Structure formats: structure tokens, C-alpha cells
Amino acid sequence: MDVRGTSKSCRQIDVQALAVAVFKGEKPNSGFLKDLDKQVGGLIGNVIQTEEFAAKEGETAYFHLTNSGLKAKRLLLIGCGERDEYKAAQISRFGGTASRFLRGKNAKTIAIAPRVESDAGSAAQMVIQSAVMGLFEPDKYRKEKEKRELKEIVVVIEGADEKAVQRGAERGGIVGEAVNYTRDLANEPGGYMTPTILATRAKETSRKFGLTFDVLDQNQMEKLGMGSLLGVSRGSDEPPKLIVMKYEPRSRKRGKTLLALVGKGITFDSGGISLKPGENMELMKYDMTGAATVIGTMRAIAQLKPSIPVLGVAPCSENLPSGKATKPGDVLVAMTGKTIEVINTDAEGRLVLADAIAYAKKLGATQIIDMATLTGAVSIALGDVNVGILGTDQALIDGVIDAGSGVGEKFWQLPLDKEYSAQIKSDIADIKNVGGRKAGTITAAAFLKEFADGVSWAHLDIAGTAWGEDAKPYRAKGPTGIAVRTLIEFVERSARDQTS
């Protein structure tokens, strides 16, 4: 599929369908909307005047055009709500709604006009990346799939800098494809996405886009003393893998900071001996979304080429019950030498992340952002709206939150006071892997904090936001690819800050 940007008039764009943003309370009596309404013979004014279309966010009005002044033969109006609330999240939902709706109408080539007044390059990127994301479907294994597909998406920002719009469109295509790649990984059934297969996919991505790649096998992890990660993998016949990807810019100012992205890669989570209820266990294929997020983000970084190095680390394992599996009450020894009493084998994500964070530090990381579908508690606290974020470096946390705001993804900081660490003290070991019912998301982060000492660290709990239970006008049901856009934005901002 081709993506491109243009600053030409909507009248000049030769596509099958045109999607246009319309704002609540807006009338076609001036400016862009007046001119467009004139070109289509008053259809916009009529549908607004009769109150069939009020431009509430997500509302649509669709027309087939005859004898109009547009080259497009179809017009889609998409409501975007209040004009002063039209920011990154709303622009993104607009772009996704346009591509999903028009593909459903079998349009092959479409143009999308977001009607922004400033920062055209960023707006073009947001529109294209969300339009590409809108095309993802979780139907990979259906015999009869939706065969309709778009061949071209054009973002139109009239009167803007043509080169800026085109650059934004190209970047948006890269980011959108990276998000969809992440979603595809997360959607794979556990039988088709073992640690070995995920490592192979990461290796293929690294080779294709020029990343350095390495993977540690069980023997190497044993030599390094990664007893925490290996304690999780013990119950499975599938061997664990520790994926390492690195982006190194060709030329950069030598700095002291090395950012590592660390993502939980439990390719299927049954809970182990602390077995989960059978209902909805099939969704536990998505418990490797943290690792998928790292791989997808690294894929985009390799193409966007920021001027700072980035390390990607993904500890991968299955969590299954067997005669070899770790049992509640067992004690594991992590790579750092810290001993861990396992109270609940279903709190396994923090165990694999512990050794991965320690290994990232060994590789020279001075700044670490980890991400994981870590706790059910975060869904109770924040639902499916905000990602929970915690950490030890407020500047890093603020940077991630601000980057998320810039791309339309929401993060909410939870506290990490030292009192919470008291809940994970063990009677027989240094720490235990659960701290009881209270503050489950926070005590999970307090556990990871034990392994992130000496570095700038932030933790993202994406358990409530990584899977969409319902389809939206702008997004299919299933994996969301949350945080990929935020992490890319954070890396690029960091690169600008370090080279300015």
C-alpha cells in the first residue's frame, strides 16, 4: 500500500473517496467547509441543517457524488467533536475511522483531510499512522477473510509545506506498520508463537532493518545465573530465549546515556502451578505483548534513524505447569544474587523482567523503560484508558507521559513510596514475588525496583490497555499496540535533546 502527503486542494486529488474532518456546531458558511459544500452541491449544508449529522466524535455521513467539483466520487464526513478538543488522540481516531470505513465501502484509493492549522508534518504523520493502524484485522487464520484492501492513502493538508506533509506521511507509514507488526505478534496463538519462534521473528526483523541481534539460550542464561527467568521456564518443554536487539546510529555525539527498552515475553501464560481459571485463558497468548512492543519499536527506530543508540531486551518463556515446574514456596536466585521466594507462580512476569533488567544494566544501559502485561490490578485501577506508569526517575516518567500525550496515548503515574516495598519482604528470602491483595500494581513495580537500582528507570503496566475487548470505528477488536508510538516519540525527542 502506498502512502503520501500533499498540500494541494482537495478538489485536485484524484482518488475514489475523500474523508473530511467536521467539528461540532460547524456550519458550511465560511472557509474550507463552505468551498467544499459548494463543490458537492450543498450536500454538507443539507445534512447539517436537517440535523442528520451533528459532528459528534465518531459520527459519519457518507455520500456518492455526481457532477461535483471533486475528482473523488465519494465523500465521507467524520465528526471530530469540539474544535478546541481536536488534538492528537482525536486526530488519530479520525484517521483510523476514515480508513476502516472507506475500506468497508471497497474504496481502493482514499484521501484524508484532517483540517489542521499548524504543525502539518506531525498531523500528517498522525493521520497516516492511525489510518494504517485502522486497517489491522485479527483474522489471520480465517479461511475466508475480508478481501477488500486499500491501495493508496493520501493525507491532504491544504496550503501547508508540501515537503513537510510528505515527510510526515512517510514517517506515519513506518510507525503505523510497526504498530501493526506488534499487534500481529501479540495476536499469534501460543502454539505458533513460542520463545524460539519469537526470537526468529526478532532476528528476521533485525536483519531486514539493520539492527544488531543476539539471543541467549538456556545454557548461556544458566552461566549468567539467571535463576529468576529460568525458574519460570522450568515447567515448559519449550526452551527460553533472551532476545537482544540494538540500534546504533552511524554518526552521533558520544553521550553517557544508553536507553534500554525491556519487554516481558511470556508467549503463553497458564499461571503455572498457580493455575489460572479456564475462562478466557486463551487470551493469555497476548502475555508477550511487552516483548512484541520492544520488537515493533526497534523496527521503527531502525527506519527513522534517530541519533542516539537504543537497546531492546525481551526475556521470553512459557509459563506452564508440569512435574518440573517451580512450585509456590520455592526460592529462586536472580542474576544479581538476590533471592526470591515464589508465593504465586502466576506472578511470573516480574521474575523474567528481573533478570532482563539486570542484563540490560550489564550491557551498559543507564536508562531503562520496561513494559509488561503485568497485573490484573492495573485494570481495576485504570481500566482500559490509561497505562499505569511508575519508576524512580521523575524526569523520565514525565518524558514518557508527555511523549504519550503528543501521540494520543494516555499514561497515569502511580506512587512508589518505600512503604510499599515492605509488602514484598520475605521471611526466608530477600524478597517475595507478590505482596498481597493491596496495591498489586504498585507492589509488582516495587519488586522490579529491586533490580533497577543505579539506573534511571520507568515501568509501564500495559495489562489493561494492550487488548481491546470491543471493536471501535477506528480499531479492530484485539491487540492495540499500545505504547509503540509513545516509545518512538520518546526516543526521537531524546535524540533531539541530546544533539541540540
C-alpha cell at 139: 483474522
CA distance 368 to 312: 10
Residues with Cβ < 8 Å from 418, sequence gap 6 or more?
none
Q: Give me the pLDDT at residue 74, please.
A: 98
Q: Give me the pLDDT at residue 320, please.
A: 98
Provide the residue ranges of all domains of the chain, joining segments of one domain with +: 2-177, 188-499
- Average pLDDT along the chain: 97
C-alpha cell at 428: 526466608
Residues with Cβ < 8 Å from 355, sequence gap 6 or more?
221, 224, 226, 227, 228, 229, 242, 315, 334, 335, 451
Which of the four pLDDT bands, split at 50, 70 and 90, describes residue 402?
very high
Residues in the chain: 500
Give the CA distances from residue 377 to residues 343, 388, 438, in Å, rounded to whole numbers and listed in that order. Answer: 17, 10, 9
Beta strands in 306-374 (DSSP E): 310-319, 331-333, 339-341, 367-372
β-sheet bridge partners, residue 266: 317
pLDDT digits (tens, 9 = 90+) for 335-361: 999 999 999 999 999 999 999 999 999
pLDDT digits (tens, 9 = 90+) for 61-86: 999 999 999 999 999 999 999 999 99
CATH 3.40.220.10 given to domain 2-177: yes
Percentage of residues of the chain with pLDDT beyond 90? 96
Q: Give me the pLDDT at residue 256, please.
A: 81
pLDDT digits (tens, 9 = 90+) for 238-278: 999 999 999 999 875 556 899 999 999 999 999 999 999 99
**CA 275 from centroid of its chain's CA atoms:** 28
Q: Which amino acid is at 79?
A: G
pLDDT digits (tens, 9 = 90+) for 30-64: 999 999 999 999 999 999 999 999 999 999 999 99
Beta strands in 338-425 (DSSP E): 339-341, 367-372, 387-391, 411-413
Percentage of residues of the chain with pLDDT beyond 70? 99
C-alpha cell at 272: 503455572
- Specify the 3-state DSSP secondary structure of 34: helix
Between strands 367-372 and 431-432, the pairing is unpaired
Q: Give me the pLDDT at residue 144, please.
A: 82
Q: Give me the pLDDT at residue 219, please.
A: 98
Q: Give me the pLDDT at residue 254, please.
A: 59
Q: What is the 3-state secondary structure (H, E, C) of 61-83?
A: EEEECCCCCCCCCEEEEEECCCH
C-alpha cell at 97: 475511522
Question: Across the chain, which distance is largest between two alpha carbons, in Å?
Answer: 81
Query: If you classify domain 188-499 with CATH, what class do you get?
Result: alpha beta
- Specify the 3-state DSSP secondary structure of 105: coil
Q: Give me the pLDDT at residue 145, please.
A: 76
Residues with Cβ < 8 Å from 356, sequence gap 6 or more?
229, 242, 262, 313, 314, 315, 370
Q: 420, 437 in Cβ contact below 8 A?
A: no
User: Which of 339, 342, 334, 341 lies closest to 358, judged by CA?
Assistant: 334
**Active-site residues: which are they?**
276, 350
Query: Mean pLDDT, to the nearest integer, of 270-290?
Result: 97
Helix (H), strand (E) counts: the chain: 14, 20
Dihedral angle, C-alpha 22, 27, 33, 36, nearest 10 °: 110
- Specify the 3-state DSSP secondary structure of 152: strand
Q: Give me the pLDDT at residue 249, please.
A: 95
- What is the crossing angle of helices 484-499 and 162-187, to 10°? 130
Q: Which amino acid is at 423?
A: Q
β-sheet bridge partners, residue 431: 340, 425
Q: Give me the pLDDT at residue 117, please.
A: 84
How many other C-beta atoms are found inside a 10 Å radius of the C-beta of residue 452?
A: 25
pLDDT digits (tens, 9 = 90+) for 117-175: 889 999 999 999 999 999 999 999 998 877 789 999 999 999 999 999 999 999 999 99
CA distance 103 to 148: 6
H/E stretch holding 460 = strand 456-461
Which of the four pLDDT bands, split at 50, 70 and 90, describes residue 395?
very high
pLDDT digits (tens, 9 = 90+) for 424-447: 999 999 999 999 999 999 999 999
Q: Give me the pLDDT at residue 146, please.
A: 72
Phi, psi dihedral angles at 442 (to 5 degrees): -70, -40
Query: Mean pLDDT, to the nearest integer, of 437-462?
Result: 98
DSSP labels, 253-309:
---S--EEEEE-EEEEE--TTSPPPSTTGGGGGGGGHHHHHHHHHHHHHHHH--SS-
Which of the four pLDDT bands, split at 50, 70 and 90, describes residue 406?
very high
